[in-house]
């Protein structure tokens, strides 16, 4: 995961250049970035600002030759310095003279490690440097740098996308970047699950039901271990369904021939993106922790390697917009997107499937019943958000995180229900891989009976409001 961060950020820079760069900028930088001969970074965060990008202080002053001189310091710059590529193209957010306060006054600049000559060859090193590399609790293979620009007053940058348009340029790559981070959560959870299964099959401990006296059994025989493994398995499959649906929606939004389909798909993609990013990364941490638990005491020992998944996964809910910010984006922006049509359409589709699964198959009937309860709770929570958010500025933010969990869990259950339905259809048609198809049905049924009931339980926290959050005075929060 640490290594994959480098091409992930390079991909984001490519997207920004394609969307906002001049023809000259595209000619200068794109080919080398696409081939991987050069890599790229995103420079947003500053030590005093954190997630509040609008508070940044990095400056950009115009130069006589049409370029700009950049000065300031950025923190948490992934792959800010390394020797794996001939050049590093930094995309740096900065303020131009007289720019408005907040995010409206931010511009984006291309700041190469080595300046590029007209013939494409590399020129002198730019006035920028890595001040330090952060000592992190995980992703140790990724150099996370503090970058300083313009210490000698000669850091050359090139404006991309026009003045005060920096956030729009950055948001061009946000959907893909946040989906990719959600995919990281899925990937690390799946790897942790694979290792947990391998260990549970090999580790012998305790006597399981049916095991002869005096003989220990593989821990996979024990009910609680099975519960942990099935929880991991069902979540991983639900997460995979979600990120694939999100990715397909993005593809159609950008490439479908029908403009109406492109618009609908972009609405769905934007709605699903905070779910993919936040839910899958929260679960990446939770399931990596579960994998440690499956290993027991050996999970806390470095030599098993499972602890690395836990440490590495912990950054995922934080970067590319903390999961709290994803939840605020969901209730503050995405519920009102296109007049609320993407939300209404998705909930209606889930409700239709829940009622349409009833039939002769007992497994689908169980899934249908639990999915119906979850969709009903989600509809009630969504209606509450629409009714209360305009009147109380703290109401929606107070319930945003549990609401996102509600929404994503329901979508996960819905997609697994679809997979179970399809599996039964394939089985009836004579598909030979019966064990695989049966496992799909069992996994969906487990999610429906063991995970989906959490959705209705979250309705209370979502609709409680903010009064209790502020009932204790700030100075009295210290115990």
Number of helices (H), then strands (E), in the chain = 14, 10
- Pair of tokens at residue 1: 């995961």
Alpha helix segments (H runs only) across 357-433: 362-388, 395-428
DSSP state of 360: S
Instruction: Say how far apart CA 3 and CA 187 lie, in whole Å.
Output: 14
93 forms beta bridges with 108
Closest CA to 188 of 5, 332, 55: 5
Alpha helix segments (H runs only) across 333-361: 341-356
Instruction: Say how far apart CA 400 and CA 463 lie, in whole Å.
Output: 10
- Residue 204, helix vs strand vs coil: strand
Other beta carbons less than 10 A from residue 358's beta carbon: 13
Closest CA to 173 of 47, 297, 321, 349: 321
Pairing relationship of beta strands 68-78 and 59-62 according to DSSP bridges:
antiparallel
Instruction: Say how far apart CA 179 and CA 253 lie, in whole Å.
Output: 14
Instruction: Say how far apart CA 188 and CA 139 lie, in whole Å.
Output: 12
Catalytic site includes residue 259 = no
Instruction: Say how far apart CA 43 and CA 228 lie, in whole Å.
Output: 39
Are 345 and 202 in contact by the 8 Å Cβ rule? The answer is: no
Q: Determine which helix (DSSP H) or strand (DSSP E) holds 146, and give its type and residue range.
A: strand 144-149
Determine which one of 320, 341, 425, 464 is catalytic. 320
Active site residues: 320
């Amino acid at each position: 995961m640490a290594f994959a961060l480098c091409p992930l950020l390079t991909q984001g820079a490519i997207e920004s250049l394609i969307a906002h760069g001049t023809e000259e900028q595209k000619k200068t930088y794109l080919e080398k970035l696409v081939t991987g001969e050069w890599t790229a970074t995103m420079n947003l965060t500053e030590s005093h600002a954190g997630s509040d990008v609008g508070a940044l202080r990095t400056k950009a002053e115009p130069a006589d030759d049409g370029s700009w001189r950049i000065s300031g310091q950025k923190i948490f710059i992934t792959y800010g310095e390394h020797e794996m590529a001939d050049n590093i193209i930094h995309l740096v957010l900065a303020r131009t003279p007289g720019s408005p306060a907040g995010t409206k006054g931010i511009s984006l600049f291309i700041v190469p490690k080595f300046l590029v000559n007209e013939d494409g060859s590399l020129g002198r090193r730019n006035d920028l440097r890595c001040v330090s590399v952060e000592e992190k609790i995980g992703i140790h293979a990724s150099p996370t740098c503090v970058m300083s620009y313009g210490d000698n007053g000669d850091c050359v940058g090139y404006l991309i996308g026009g003045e005060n348009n920096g956030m729009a340029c950055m948001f061009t790559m946000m959907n893909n970047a946040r989906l990719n981070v959600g995919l990281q959560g899925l990937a690390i959870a799946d790897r942790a699950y694979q290792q947990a299964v391998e260990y549970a099959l090999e580790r012998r401990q305790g006597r399981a039901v049916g095991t002869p006296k005096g003989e220990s059994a593989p821990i996979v025989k024990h009910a609680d271990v099975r519960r942990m493994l099935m929880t991991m398995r069902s979540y991983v499959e639900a997460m995979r369904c979600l990120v694939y649906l999100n990715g397909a929606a993005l593809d159609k939004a950008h490439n479908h021939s029908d403009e109406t389909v492109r618009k609908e798909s972009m609405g769905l993609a934007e709605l699903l993106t905070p779910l993919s990013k936040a839910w899958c990364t929260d679960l990446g941490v939770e399931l990596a922790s579960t994998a440690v638990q499956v290993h027991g005491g050996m999970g806390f020992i470095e030599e098993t390697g499972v602890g690395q998944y836990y440490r590495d996964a912990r950054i995922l809910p934080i970067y590319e917009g903390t999961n709290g910010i994803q939840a605020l984006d969901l209730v503050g922006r995405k519920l009102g997107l296109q007049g609320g049509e993407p939300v209404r359409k998705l909930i209606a589709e889930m409700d239709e499937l829940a009622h349409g699964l009833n039939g002769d198959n007992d497994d689908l009937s169980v899934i249908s019943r639990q999915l119906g309860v979850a969709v009903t709770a989600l509809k009630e929570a969504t209606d509450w958000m629409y009714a209360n958010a305009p009147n109380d500025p703290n109401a929606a933010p107070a319930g945003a995180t549990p609401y996102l969990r509600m929404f994503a869990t329901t979508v996960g259950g819905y997609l697994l229900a679809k997979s179970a339905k399809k599996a039964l259809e394939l089985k009836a048609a004579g598909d030979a891989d019966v064990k695989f198809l049966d496992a799909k049905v069992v996994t969906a049924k487990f999610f429906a009976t063991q995970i989906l009931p959490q959705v209705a339980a979250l309705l209370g926290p979502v609709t409680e409001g903010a009064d209790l959050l502020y009932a204790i005075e700030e100075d009295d929060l210290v115990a």
